Each structure stands twice: as C-alpha cells, then as structure tokens.
Amino acid sequence: MLSLMSIVTLTTDFGLSDWFAGTMKGVILGRCPDTTIVDITHDVPRGDIRSGAFALWASCRHLPKGTVHLAVVDPGVGSRRPALAVKTARCFFVGPDNGVLSWALAVEKIEAAHRIENQALMLQPVSATFHGRDVFAPIAAHLACGGGIEEAGPAVSDFERLEWPEPRQTRDGWLGEVLYVDQFGNAITNLEAPTGARERSTELVTHRGARCPLEAFYESVPAGQPLALIGSADLIEVAVNGGSAAAQLGLTPGTEIRLVETAR
C-alpha cells in the first residue's frame, strides 16, 4: 500500500487547557497514522464563527496542496445544523455548515461539496457535545488517507456563507471596518492599500479620530504611537508600536475605519 503523507490542520475554539484537541488528534492518527497534524489555533473566541473563518482564510493558503483543513467553531453542536466536507482544486475543508469555512472557500475553486451524514465513518455513538471528535476528526482522517469525499454523504449545491464586508469608496478615500483583532491588539481591517499609494500620504482614521499614518514597519513611529501597516494577509491593520491598538484606540470587530489619502 502506498504510504500517504498528508496534513490535517485544526482550527477550533476548544482551547488547549482540556483534553479536547489532543483527543481529536488521537482519533485522526488512529484512522490515518501517517498524518501530520498542524494546529492553526484552538483559541478562536468561543463560538465566534467570523474570527474562526478569518483565521482559516488567513492561514490555509500557506499549507501545501492536498491538506485537509478541519475547522470547528460550532455553537450549534448537537442541533440539526448540517456538517460539511468540501473538495477544492487545492485541498479539503471539513466543518459545521455555519459559515466558518466560507471565507476560505470563497477564494478556492470548488470541485465537490458533500453533507457529512455517513454514520459508518463517524465515531459511534456520536456524542451531543463533541462532533469535533466524533464526526469531523474521522472524516478528516478519511480524506487525509485518500478516501472519497462522496462517501461522506449526499452532494450539496450550496452552503452557508458569511458576508465579507466590502469597503465603500468615499469622497476622500474608503470606509472600511475592523475584521479581526489579534492577541496583541492589532486591528486587521478589510482595507487594502490603494495601488500606487505613496505611503507617507495615506492614513487610517479611527472612529474616534485617531490618525494612523501608513508606515513600513512598527518601529517607524515612536513607542506607544499608533500607525497603520500592510499586514501579512495584505490587509491594512492598525497597530501601536509596542502596545495594543485595540485597547488604546477602542477597536473591536465591526468598528468603522476610514482610509484617507492626502496630498504629500
């Protein structure tokens, strides 16, 4: 038999303090022993589907072709919300059909989408509270070891999609919003750098009027001062050199941010 070397990533809100993530890994390795498991994060704020969707979107492009991405942020676990497995041109996605996969899927070429309903692939009896272990880990292992996605359950023509908030053009620039606040208080927005922006003449203005010049790196401004940067996901983020922009400027997901371009 061909030794398949495959990767499964995990993005959950299970935290690391209990045995939940480790147990999912045990189930995956029991069913597909050669898997390399990569934790994206287990610290998505509990039940925060948008933050989970963002973390998956920001990371998945950097994993190799063939990777199985498993994301479980699932406040409706145990209820009748469907479970989803998707095959794209590059990789696989597995998780609850509540939008957590949708931002990552929006930039992929989808080849197949199936509801996960095949009880024979699940860990029996399926618990009411831990589908990460009983439903999603087994199907991820199935896909990682080369099993067909059509065995998961019936094909579906669509799935839950979270809206990606598009910035709106204004008289002097763009109106956007904060999408994600990272653990250091950097506030990632939905704003991209305007093409040909001369960096020194672009700034982000927060809802409270704080002006954050677009700079090339954190230490471009004195410690404690706000700035804007083109972050690692190509989106502009508001930061404070050596501090927390979220705390200092009162930024949370959804906070409005304006991008203003002024003459040099």
Q: Which of 93, 119, 109 is nearest to 11 (CA)?
A: 93
CB of 187 to its own copies, least distance (A): 13
- C-beta separation of 72 from 13 below 8 A: yes
CB of 174 to its own copies, least distance (A): 20
Nearer to its own copies, 118 or 241 (CB): 241
Contact set with its own copies (CB under 8 A): 5, 7, 9, 11, 15-19, 21-23, 25-27, 29-30, 33-34, 36, 38-43, 46-47, 55-56, 58-59, 62-64, 67, 75-79, 123, 127-130, 133-134, 182-184, 216-220, 229-232, 234, 237, 242
- C-beta separation of 186 from 204 below 8 A: no
Nearer to its own copies, 23 or 118 (CB): 23
CA 197, 198, 200, 202 torsion-angle sign: negative
Nearer to its own copies, 113 or 238 (CB): 238
Q: Which of 235, 236, 246, 244 is nearest to 103 (CA)?
A: 235
Nearer to its own copies, 39 or 172 (CB): 39
When computed from its CA atoms, the radius of gyration of the chain, rounded to whole angstroms, is: 21
Nearest 10 degrees: Cα torsion 49, 50, 53, 58: -150
CB of 176 to its own copies, least distance (A): 18
Nearer to its own copies, 36 or 119 (CB): 36
CA distance 189 to 178: 4
Buried b (16+ CB within 10 A) or exposed e, 133-171: bbbbbbbbbbbbbebebeebbeeeeebeebeeeebeeee
CB of 53 to its own copies, least distance (A): 11
CB of 129 to its own copies, least distance (A): 5
Nearer to its own copies, 59 or 118 (CB): 59
CB of 229 to its own copies, least distance (A): 6
Q: Which two tokens stand for residue 187?
A: 């506030």
